[in-house]
Structures are given as structure tokens and as C-alpha cells.
Amino acid sequence: MTESFGTMLKQARDVRGLSAVGVARAAGISAAYLNRLENGGVKHPSPHVLHQLSQALAIPYDELMRLSGYPVPGQTAQTGFDARAVAAALFADVTDDERDELLEYLAWYRARKISRRAIWPSN
């Protein structure tokens, strides 16, 4: 299991505005165990725990299985963080207003990065 797995769990929790205690309770695990998952202290969570987390965080179960190193039927043996798949899962329930705000922020952020490069070009 990669560090990205724990990072993704925490990001999913943050995006949804959920507390660690609330997610742990919904997943039927302790907050301490969730903390260990988020910080890479658990190397191989059980499929049952992954299923419970997928429901608590609204992330596809097969994506959590794949990120944890389990083989997923119908997918090639691929390990590692698939940012697009995770982003799609994290933002599947975004409202139209939230999407518009995110796009506006992204445009501002990218413009800021471009203007910084124009001021301080790298060698």
C-alpha cells in the first residue's frame, strides 16, 4: 500500500467535511485505526474495512482495493495512485454551484502560477 492511499482517505474525508471520528464510526472502525490508515501505519487493510470505508466516504470499493494492492477483476494489475479515478470519485456528488466555484478557483490559481513564472522565471 502506498502513502497515497492514506492521503487519499484524508482528502476524501476533508472534501466531504467529515470528522475522523464520524468516518470511523460509519465504517465500524476505531478513530485510532483510521488515523493509522491515513498515516500509512497499516500496510494491508482487510477487504471488509475497505468496503466499509468506501461506503462511509463514497469512494468506489474497487478503487480502494486496487490502491491497497488487491487484484481487482476486470482490471490489469496496476498499483499506485490513479489521481483521475480518485478525483472522479471524490467529486462525483459536487453540485453545479460547487463545480462553478471550483472551476473559478482553478482558473484563478492557474493564472496566479503563470504570473509568478513571468515575474520569476526559472533558469
Please tell me the predicted confidence (pLDDT) of residue 57: 92
**Over 80: is that where the pLDDT of 92 sits?**
no
Query: Which residue type occupies 86?
Result: V
Would you kindly state where each structural domain of the chain is located, as residue ranges? 3-92, 94-123
Please tell me the predicted confidence (pLDDT) of residue 106: 83
Query: Which residue type occupies 63?
Result: E
Average pLDDT (4-25) is 90
Average pLDDT (43-65) is 92
Q: For 3-92, which CATH superfamily applies?
A: lambda repressor-like DNA-binding domains (1.10.260.40)
CA within 13 Å, CB half, 33: 14
> For 67-84, what is each residue's pLDDT tens digit?
888 888 876 655 555 667
In this predicted model, which residue has the larger pLDDT, 40 or 119? 40
Q: What is the DSSP string of 5-29?
A: HHHHHHHHHHHTT--HHHHHHHHTS
